[in-house]
Chains A and B, each alone.
Chain A
């Protein structure tokens, strides 16, 4: 794992001092509220519905046990004892007090963490495949490149007042777990004629105008990657619309000008910028790679795992859903679900954070990850340790066996926290999870991704949910629109809207009808919801969602 060098350390300390000064200068009037706002945002501090919210970066989702312990400490000391893991591999604290924020940032700096550029019109926290360095299908570890991009983008002098936010995601596996085609820039690592580099995808994004990213360049060698990304952001910084914030993202710029026009501009800017890079970045990358060498894997029998799998049905159910294939076949990647039915998706208490940190120390080679699906990952667990690990998870309310299933829902904070929200998300997620838990149908249904956003900005990624739910406000009443067939992987598709929305008390029964329609229509248990939708199209699902009026009357 990457550890700060003296430069990184001095940088974050200086930044904390600057922000403390900015808070003081806001109070003494040197900074107007308007001037202070982007400064606090670029340090991760939002003003929410009820209080300030501090968003802390977990770069490319990688975190060590000491850092996780510190997040727990901050949750207890400065918040209400919990934190919320987000879809962009950050953690949010919902109740910090403004005067405490410098102390929180100092506590983060103590463990090599920060809240820089987690908000504002800046290049945001760089995200990556949460199975990086562990997944069986991985060709290249995305973390070293992501760390290099983090360093390049941090405090970039040209890019602190961009037209709008700018998000970068990196993957190096055949299966895209980082949703790279829904980012402003997606980086897919590859090799060409023995040279390492990346495909650069641009202009993806969700929000009110969802777009699938387009290939800007099939192959950019590593030596050109930073100048190429810089050229792209540079072109957009001048070309992106500043007259309407809803049209400011690069996806709109690409849409309005066309990908070929953007490519030509980027190529031209690249030739200007490239000579300003002296080449040390490739040496830095080689050094960063040393931080991400695989742990020394244990070579021992896996009998304990096999025994537990054969004899303990609870363990088996959890193993079947929450383990993923590791590149070392004696190991597993463990998903710790933060989606217990009835709980807030992505929330973890301080005690839970500490127990996960300790599990990483005891069984996980000191590594944890945060997934964009708002779960915590232990990327390297020897199979023989899984039964003991599972027992600890059970004792801490963390053993929910639902990774990838219907109750493993992504939900934005919605109207319970967010100033932008037009509807509640969390109670809908809780309601669906609780309902299907009662029905005991979850494992029968199989792989099904439900994603819920509480407003059109789509923080809950509803466009790429197999079932997407968008909460809107219709004349003061919450109304939930459904989309079907969305997909956030290497085959990214924006879901199709079914028709009129549903009231708050109708949305959970509507989802239930949809799922029953799927169960009735699928060829066999192997055909997932998404596959069935692709085969059958909208018709049978629409019929289930909007039954003819008289039938409804009879049913009632």
Chain B
């Protein structure tokens, strides 16, 4: 079983439908064709494999607006990174959810605060 983490905390899986599953070694050149999908899960085989963050970013840049889930070994300390990269939510194992309970994830639910990236990407003020 797995636990879904969103900004509000742990929720039971409420998705009904087909996931498109992508592995972390997916060739970025192939991503464009998935832009119209309803829901995509990107696998995190290990928390130290940071490819999923860039894949998420490119999917969003390719026009994908569906539900995007980071699936696998993502730790609470990476929640803000996942959200900032374009994921809507994270799916973790029961074991990880027990070891890193809800409050440790909620501590990173303020992912929009203290974000250098959002800061350097704001629109120009001068015309």
**Chain A residues engaging chain B, CB cutoff 8 angstroms:** 7, 10-11, 14-15, 18, 21-22, 25, 29-31, 35, 38-39, 121, 148, 151-152, 154-162, 226, 234, 237-238, 242, 269, 272-273, 276-284
Could you list which residues of chain B lie within 8 angstroms of chain A, going by C-beta atoms?
28, 47-51, 53-55, 57-58, 61-62, 75-78, 80-82, 84-85, 99-100, 104, 107, 113-117, 119-126
* A280 with B75: CB separation less than 8 A: no
B127 to chain A, nearest CB (A): 10
Q: If the complex has contacts A22-B77, A39-B77, are A157 and B53 also in contact, measured as CB distance less than 8 A?
A: yes
Contact flag A278-B123 (CB < 8 Å), given A158-B85, A162-B50, A237-B50: yes
Q: From residue B29, how far is it (CB to closest CB) to chain A in Å?
A: 9
Residue contacts A-B, CB under 8 angstroms, 8 given: A22-B77, A121-B48, A151-B116, A154-B116, A158-B81, A160-B50, A242-B49, A284-B120
Least CB distance from A73 to B in Å reads 27
- Which chain A residues border B75 with CB–CB below 8 Å? 31, 35
Q: Which residues of A contact B62 (CB under 8 A)?
A: 272
Q: Is the CB of A161 within 8 A of B49?
A: yes
Closest to A18 in B: B77
Of listed A25, A35, A277, residue having the most chain B CB within 10 A:
A35
Which of B48, B113, B116, B119 contacts A161, CB < 8 Å?
A: B48
Q: How far is the CB of A146 from chain B (nearest CB, A)?
A: 14
User: Quick check: A11 and B120 within 8 Å, CB to CB?
Assistant: no
Closest to B80 in A: A157
Known contacts A159-B50, A280-B119, A283-B124; 8 further A-B pairs (Cβ under 8 A): A18-B77, A121-B48, A158-B50, A234-B58, A272-B61, A277-B120, A278-B122, A282-B124
Q: Which residue of B lies closest to A159 (CB)?
A: B50
- Whether A280 touches B120, Cβ cut-off 8 Å, given contacts A161-B49, A238-B51, is yes
Identify whether the interface residues of B are mostly helix, strand, loop, or mixed.
Answer: helix
Q: How far is the CA of A237 from the CA of B49 in the complex (A)?
A: 10
Contact, CB under 8 Å: B51 / A30: no
B107 to chain A, nearest CB (A): 7
CA A516 to CA B126, docked complex, whole Å: 63
CA distance A29 to B101 in the complex (A): 12
In the complex, what distance in Å separates the CA atom of A25 from the CA atom of B107? 13
Selected contact of B121 from candidates A160, A161, A278, CB within 8 Å: A278
User: CB-CB < 8 A to B84: which residues of A?
Assistant: 157
Chain B residue nearest to A13 in the complex (CB) = B114
Chain B residues near A30 (CB-CB < 8 A)? 76, 99-100, 104
Interchain CB contact (< 8 A) of B48 among A31, A38, A279: A38
Chain B: minimal CB distance from A243 (Å): 10
Tell me whether A157 and B49 are in contact (CB under 8 A): no
Q: Is the CB of A21 within 8 A of B49?
A: no
B123: nearest chain-A partner, CB-CB: A278
Residue of A nearest to B47 (CB): A35
In the complex, A279→B50 CA distance in Å?
27
Interface pairs A-B: 4 shortest CB-CB = A161-B50, A279-B124, A278-B123, A157-B84
A156 contacts which chain B residues (CB < 8 A)? 116-117
Find chain B residues with CB under 8 A from A11 CB: 114, 116
Return chain B residues, CB-CB under 8 Å to A31: 75, 77, 100
Q: Indicate if the CB atoms of B125 and A283 lie closer than 8 Å.
A: yes
Q: Tell which of B82, B117, B120, B121 has the most Cβ of chain A within 10 Å.
A: B120
* Complex: A154 Cα to B120 Cα, angstroms: 11
Measured CA separation A493–B81 after assembly (Å):
39
Chain B residue with Cβ nearest A282: B124
The reply to whether B122 and A160 contact each other, CB–CB distance below 8 Å, is no
Q: How far is the CA of A284 from the CA of B124 in the complex (A)?
A: 10
**Contact call A152/B48, Cβ cutoff below 8 A:** no
Task: A280 to B116: give the CA distance in the assembly, Å.
Answer: 12
Contact, CB under 8 Å: A279 / B123: yes
- If A29-B99, A39-B77, A154-B116 touch, does A161 touch B53 (CB 8 Å cutoff)? yes
Q: Is the CB of A157 within 8 A of B123?
A: no
Instruction: Give Cα A146–Cα B49 distance, bound, in whole angstroms.
Output: 28
Alpha-carbon separation in the docked complex, A101 to B15 (Å) = 43
Instruction: Give Cα A95–Cα B104 distance, bound, in whole angstroms.
Output: 30
Find out whether the CB atom of A280 lies under 8 angstroms from the CB atom of B124.
yes
Do B116 and A152 touch across chains, with their CB atoms under 8 A apart?
yes
- CB neighbours (8 Å) of B124 from chain A are 278-280, 282-283
Q: Which residues of B contact A283 (CB under 8 A)?
A: 124-126
Question: Is A280 in contact with B125, judged by CB distance below 8 angstroms?
Answer: yes
Q: How far is the CA of A35 from the CA of B76 in the complex (A)?
A: 10
Q: Is the CB of B104 within 8 A of A226?
A: no
CB pair B50–A152 under 8 Å, yes or no, is no
Residues of A within 8 A of B61 (CB): 272-273, 276
Give the chain A neighbours of B99 by CB distance below 8 A. Answer: 29-30
Residues of B with C-beta under 8 A to A151:
116, 119-120
| A272 → chain B closest CB, angstroms | 5
Taken together as a complex, chains A and B put the C-alpha atoms of A554 and B85 apart, in Å, by 71
Query: Across the interface, do B120 and A281 meet the contact criterion of CB distance under 8 Å?
Result: yes
User: How far, in Å, is A155 (CB) from chain B's closest CB?
Assistant: 6
Contacts A157-B80, A158-B57, A272-B61 given; indicate if A152 touches B51 (C-beta within 8 A): no
Closest to A234 in B: B54
Residues of chain B within 8 A of A159, CB atoms compared: 50, 53
The answer to whether B54 and A158 touch across the interface, beta carbons within 8 angstroms, is yes
Whole-angstrom distance between the Cβ of B10 and the nearest chain A Cβ? 15
B73 CB to closest chain A CB, in angstroms? 9
Inter-subunit contact B119/A160 (CB<8 Å): no
CB of A155 within 8 A of CB of B116, answer yes
Q: Give the docked Cα–Cα distance between A273 and B54 (Å).
A: 11
Given known A30-B104, A161-B53, A234-B54, contact A152–B120 (CB-CB < 8 A):
yes
**Contacting residues, chain B, for A14 (C-beta < 8 A):** 113-114
Residues of B within 8 A of A278 (CB): 121-124
Contacting residues, chain B, for A161 (C-beta < 8 A):
47-50, 53, 78
B53-A158 in contact (CB<8A) = yes
- Complex interface: chain A residues within 8 A of B78 (CB): 160-161
For B55, the closest partner residue in chain A by CB is A238
